[in-house]
A and B are shown apart, each in its own frame.
Chain A
Amino acid sequence: QVQLVESGGGVVQPGRSLSLSCAASGFTFGSNGIHWVRQAPGKGLQWVALISYDGRHQYYADSVRGRFTISRDNSKNTVYLQLNSLRDEDTAVYYCAKDLMSSLCDYWGQGALVTVSS
């Protein structure tokens, strides 16, 4: 069955960096884009980024463009999210999700908590 497992969350000071990983299994990884979506405490879902199936195209929310970088290694069935210049408002649970039809997320991981705090 499809599985997505996030790792790399933790507590980090404002202005510092953190890297998240999303390990995938149960589907043809190299044929699907992957999204990152986050949920801040008490808030709704917020899309963060999308990487295409081949890694050639990346799309970002305005709030993270220039600070976050999405990448993938199809030989390792893994997608990464590099979070730089972190702010308090980046505190959230970060989910990776499998893309379907370049339009929606049909499977989600359990999430990784990132806390930005001094």
Chain B
Amino acid sequence: SYVLTQPPSVSVAPGQTARITCGGNIIGSKRVHWYQRKPGQAPVLVVYDDSDRPSGIPDQFSGSNSGNTATLTISRVEAGDEADYYCQVWDSSSDHMVFGGGTKLTVL
């Protein structure tokens, strides 16, 4: 089955840029989606189809996808961005939705 690999944690100072990676075999050929989950809250879609943002998501969130790595970039990080972030793809070979293990973003 398809596997997505994320770093367990990323730390960044306020105002800086955070980059969260998601590795998978030829992931560049798939559509990658990203979710933000804060404690006690439901997940929120922040980027879909590699780099598109749903309405209401600020432009500080952006994404890219190429080769074996997809990346979620969060610019001008603030304390309110502290959360767990998950990448996700649909694996059409198995008809399964696959999530990465999640990355905890800490704002120093």
Whether A associates with B in a native complex is yes
> Residue A100 at the B interface, CB < 8 A?
yes
Set of chain B residues within 8 Å of A110, measured between Cβ atoms = 41-42
Q: Mark A34-58, 1 if CB is under 8 A from B, else 0.
A: 0101000000111100100000000
Query: What is the predominant secondary structure among interface residues of chain B facing chain A?
Result: strand
Number of interface residues of A (CB under 8 A): 23
> Hey, what's the 0/1 contact readout for B87-108 against A, CB within 8 Å counting as 1?
0101000011111111000000
A61 touches B96 (CB 8 A): yes
- Knowing A45-B37, A47-B96 touch, does A104 contact B42 (C-beta < 8 A)? no
Look across to chain A and name the residue whose beta carbon is closest to the beta carbon of B98.
Answer: A47
How many inter-chain contacts with C-beta < 8 Å in the A-B complex? 57
User: By the criterion CB–CB under 8 Å, are A44 and B43 in contact?
Assistant: no
Does residue A31 face the partner (Cβ distance < 8 Å to B)?
Answer: no
Judge if A95 is at the interface, Cβ distance under 8 Å: yes
Considering the chains assembled together, what is the distance between the CA atoms of A50 and B88 in angstroms?
A: 15
Q: Mark A68-111, 1 if CB is under 8 A from B, else 0.
A: 00000000000000000000000000010100101111111111
Q: How many residues of B contact A (CB 8 A)?
A: 24
| B interface residues, Cβ below 8 angstroms from A | 1, 31, 33, 35, 37, 41-45, 48, 54, 84, 86, 88, 90, 95-102
Can you give 22 A-B contacts (C-beta < 8 A)? A37-B99, A44-B99, A44-B101, A45-B37, A45-B86, A45-B88, A50-B97, A59-B95, A61-B96, A62-B1, A62-B96, A95-B43, A100-B48, A102-B90, A103-B31, A103-B90, A104-B31, A104-B48, A104-B88, A105-B43, A105-B45, A108-B44
